Amino acid sequence: MINRKEKEVQTVLEVVIAEPDPPEEADEEDNYKEYKMGEDKNFQRADIGLIGLAVMGENLALNIEKNGFCVAVYNRTTQKVDNFLQSRGINKNFIGTKTVEELCSVLAKPRKLIIMVKAGNPIDQFIDQVLPCLDEGDILIDGGNSHYLDTIRRTKYVNEKGILFVGTGISGGEEGALNGPSIMPGGNEDAWSVVKPVLQSIAAKVDGDVPCCEWVGNDGAGHYVKMVHNGIEYSDMQLICEAYQLLKSGLNLSPGEIHEIFKSWNSGPLNSYLIEITSEILDHTDEKTGEATIDLILDVAGQKGTGKWTGISGLELGVPIPQIVQAVFTRCLSALKSERVYASAVLSGSNQKISDQSDKFINKLHNALYASKICSYAQGFQLLKFAAEEFDWDLNYGDIALLWRGGCIIRAGFLKNIKEAFDSKSDLTNLLLDPYFAKIMIDTQDDLRYIAKQAIDCGIPLPSMTSALNYYDAYRCARLPANLLQAQRDYFGAHTYERIDKERGEFFHTNWTGQGGETASSSYNV
């Protein structure tokens, strides 16, 4: 393994202010420590290092420091380090460093180093830069939104060099990073006992002192769970947007009136961070124009890719997650702004108006939103189940629901019930089959149908709620028309089919036209 002790001694001396010269025999690590601790009470090795002082990195560093740890910070543009230490980091327990070597030299061993840089190549570059400065057993923690396959690859790569890797999802945006995010760590479990005290202390807490940070699983498991969190986040946001559009275009309510509705919904079963911020957004007035800010924002949604990754994973694993995929595509459709504006003048729709303008409609909309949200979480958790099988991760779904109860973007009251559902039946195949959620679905499905019908009649798009309803109806359908689909495949391509009067796994081919041969194609499934 890399032995950098002499260099380390030298570099520390450059960064620690007013260091006396080391004693002559200070070339051995142990001597060096002794000298530091014995002769210079001011010297302190940092508990943890952090690379990347962008918004998330800076806030995370402040959060770690305020929880009693000494944090060494580094940023590629070193001016940022100075700026940070002179502003938000002033008079706090930070050690600023100007090179990756310096950073590694001031860290207590085993070194713990959080990388908070842009996902993708920059992470690989930093890993390669930092590896020569590390010793066996040191721990690299990637806290960005990395793709889980990259995390699997990186875990293997750094392990070959004797370094432990933790790929952790961190959710909660700027505010969460500073005051308590949800943390989803995965990677080398040997690293968990070492990083646990830091990560759990900075995480959001629920029920008083339960941290929203628990070990998730091997290699890419933490980043996979964070990715699914984001897929659900896309879906949650889309559902709220659909409710907003029905209230705005269907009932012609003002932002102020819709604000009141979301505010009241937030004190019921829909209680969640996203409902809460939606209510606040709708109450915001633009300083310049005096208009509701929401009405001034262009209707073109951006996306950084994690929703798309979730959709791709669903397709790869063959798991139906239509609401998440729909949410991604609806963002894509919103981006076709000029085409939509043109089409709005060319393509006609419906002249119907929502027939029921009373509070009853609003109550039904509430239930439709709740039912759709449950379907969306059911899809997300089912995706996790298939992924656990595929990647050999021992996921604990109750714990995952706990991680999402606080700090993260999808935090919501009903995650407590999801936790209870998986805690009482860890092999639950689908959340819709849990008695608590099954009852809610049975009780609210009529309202979801009603809302879907109203929106369809009035020509108001409702992609995610209708997708939820279709998912619900298809999932509870004992006999789907896939028999016909199989017959079609067999007709044109001899792809074969299974029969209801034979054992599963036996495949048959019919010579449908009397002209085709008896040769069947293979019956593999992707």
Q: Does 118 participate in binding ligand 6PG (rule CB under 6 A)?
A: no
Contact with ligand 6PG (CB under 6 A): which of 97, 171, 445, 466? 171
Stretch of 47-55, 72-80, 113-121, 169-177 contacting ligand 6PG, by CB under 6 A? 169-177
- Does 233 qualify as catalytic in the annotation? yes
Q: What is the DSSP pairing of strand 182-187 with strand 217-218? A: parallel
Q: How far is the CB of 170 from ligand 6PG (least distance, A)?
A: 7
> Using CA atoms in the order 107, 113, 117, 120, what is the torsion angle rounded to 10 degrees?
140
Tokens at residue 26, please?
Answer: 């200070």
The reply to whether 172 sits near ligand 6PG by the rule CB under 6 A is yes
Query: Quick one: the chain helix, strand, coil %, rounded to 5?
Result: 55, 10, 35
Contact assessment for residue 12 and residue 106, using Cβ atoms and an 8 Å cutoff: yes
Amino acid 443 reads D
How many residues interact with ligand 6PG (rule CB under 6 A)? Answer: 13
- Please answer whether residues 437 and 431 qualify as being in contact, where contact means their C-beta atoms are separated by less than 8 angstroms: yes
Q: Which is nearer to ligand 6PG, 22 or 57 (CB)?
A: 57
> Contacts with ligand 6PG in 399-418 (CB under 6 A)?
408-409
For residue 445, what are its two tokens?
């499905």
Judged by CB, which is closer to ligand 6PG: 304, or 360?
304
User: Is 310 among the residues that bind ligand 6PG (CB under 6 A)?
Assistant: no
Residue of 36, 80, 112, 226 with catalytic role:
226
Q: For strands 210-211 and 205-206, give the pairing.
A: antiparallel
Q: Under the criterion CB under 6 A, does residue 173 sit at the interface with ligand 6PG?
A: yes
Contact characters 143-162, ligand 6PG, x per CB under 6 A = --x-----------------
- The answer to whether residue 226 is catalytic is yes
Contact flag: residue 324 with ligand 6PG (CB under 6 A): no
Q: State which residue, 62 or 103, has the beta carbon closest to ligand 6PG.
A: 62
179 binds ligand 6PG (CB under 6 A): no
For residues 4 and 9, what is the distance between their CA atoms, to the nearest angstrom? 9
- State in angstroms the smallest separation of the CB of 472 from ligand 6PG: 26
Q: Is the dihedral angle over the CA atoms 175, 178, 180, 182 positive or is it negative? A: positive
Residue 281 Cβ, how far from ligand 6PG at the closest point, in Å? 15
Which tokens go with 249? 């275009």
How far lies 85's CA from each of 72, 75, 251, 356, in Å?
11, 12, 52, 59
Find the shortest distance in angstroms from Cβ 226 to ligand 6PG. Answer: 7
Of 125, 360, 361, nearest in space to 243 by CA: 361
Q: What's 412's DSSP letter?
A: B
Q: Which is nearer to ligand 6PG, 22 or 307 (CB)?
A: 307
Coil vs helix vs strand at 199: helix
Q: What is the dihedral of CA 506, 511, 517, 522, to 10 degrees?
A: -30
Cis omega before residue 110 (within 30°)?
A: yes
CA–CA separation, 227 and 387 (whole Å): 12
Question: Which one of 233, 364, 373, 419 is the catalytic residue?
Answer: 233
CB of 462: closest distance to ligand 6PG in angstroms?
21
Least gap, CB of 308 to ligand 6PG (angstroms) = 8
Of 17-25, 196-204, 302-310, 516-524, the window that binds ligand 6PG (rule: CB under 6 A) is 302-310
Q: How far is the CB of 380 from ligand 6PG (least distance, A)?
A: 13
For residue 274, state whether it binds ligand 6PG (rule: CB under 6 A): no
Number of helices and strands in the chain (H, E): 21, 10
Among 31, 159, 303, 470, binds ligand 6PG (CB under 6 A): 303
Q: What are the residue numbers of the active site?
A: 226, 233
Contact positions vs ligand 6PG (CB under 6 A): 145, 171-173, 230, 233, 302-304, 306-307, 408-409
